[in-house]
Structure 1
């Protein structure tokens, strides 16, 4: 059986590493190799530190195809990906196309496969922010609708699909747990202190800001960074920063003080170290909200909503939006909260195996 895996962004490399390892393990127990995986990297994250380093660090098989598609508008990027992925699928003729998450690479891979009548499996299906202004929300809804198997990380995701009528659509839904939890368990021992961070930096707040709804809005970006500057007066802040966000800060004339340490984008092992050693996380990332939970750290989300509603319901994630006063207030209150990180929300760490066994059978 041949599977084409489509990846293009940092979180997808981590997720793909889990499933690739499960495929290799499955094949090791077979008399002949029963699954052939072909990895297609769209090039959506083209910076070496945000792309190649993940393949090197995590022992992911190198991509068989690198489409080098980036730095385009949503429409142009998705259209170009659709065109180039279609060529790969026509040449390789796979039984399955496996897509992850909610990026332009995700929807392009799913559309290209479906139009060629190739089966589509969507990992991290059923997530909803209920904000149709988010490009990611559009991508995930459309990908779910045209997939043949939906791998849902949580009961919340399964419930979302039920409410949308998926039980009557003939699309297989599997509550499999979260591949990111598999990765966190597997790679924790390989964590590495990032360059530029020394023992004097601990303790610190880990922050990441990259989402377009924040970075493209001067008012929101200013408010978030004013909150970080206020917090940094009493607690150091480490901020691995996307090159695009740095350009926005420069363009808007937003200054950063010395208590906020800006790092270049870090690899997954460095991010694990930061998560393990921080006191809390402030982020607009979807994946980092979960990873904070995996490493038993409270999270303040600088968005108006989250796909991971179960984290909010269990009192480990707090929605702040971009309001400076709200962000600082939530941070100041963290020490007063009795947070339970022992609840099982994301499976038992065997999600990769469940995905592979489902596709085979």
Structure 2
């Protein structure tokens, strides 16, 4: 009942405080916890090895060995922790192991791909790889001869043109879907979602049949950029729309309450607030198209010489460089392909880092300033009282 007075528990004596079991803290790890983890792992591994190597009459694949060891490790670890700490701690430890295993399983392929590409490509990457092309390099030339400067220039130019074309269109479409919400919102979203599943070869065929065959533009880096822009547009639109949707509605309401029109609110409040997310959306679009090969085969065509003008003549890029070199039967050209793949991978990683630096610098500074304690913030100047002239 509400009128009852709840008596407080009596305070513990010194003896009770010393003999009471310690409270469980999930984030606290001691050396004994590490010893339990390693002991269970080693014991289960030794037992599985003994059964597979000494008792079974046939060989077992390493995958089967790993699965059996993992299952026995979970059982052994749960029994050890439960005996020493109880059921609650044992359940928490097992869930932590399962979650960590899932994270490792998702992270390991990325590390494996990056590590293997770096291992195969680092042997060939030299300073001349960034300054020379393959104009005078033959199939039997050494892997360290020649370079991919023509492909690097083509990749940067084509990606820049595709970004300039697709980013304004994608952001404007996202603003229409998120802020305007007119009559064409549902058809526009339907078309945008359908374009995300558009095969890259179809985009290349579209540009090839329209510009190269109908208008006679010929193969060029600009035609390849248009194909990349077609593939990049839906990715930028969808990502930008999701970013604009998470902007707090209170910011829009405050701007409208101050008398700002809707377009001014979007331009001065919504877009600057979502700048970091929009930068990430742009990078997602660039990462979506930077490794495309099929549309470039139909539009840019590829070459071994350096062409810095994407509007005139065929042009090469890194995906085409990797594709043409890896198809060769010569080991030297295969090594150049791995070097080109390493440069392409480094370019993507550099773009991600640059986007985070450019997109999160100023908003992060405002967040850090807002987190300062009250006594550390500069105090507003008090208005000076004017002397009474009377």
Q: TM-score range by the shorter chain?
A: under 0.3
TM-score, length of structure 1 as denominator length: 0.20
Larger Rg: 2
| Larger relative contact order (Cα-Cα within 8 Å, sequence gap ≥ 6) | 2
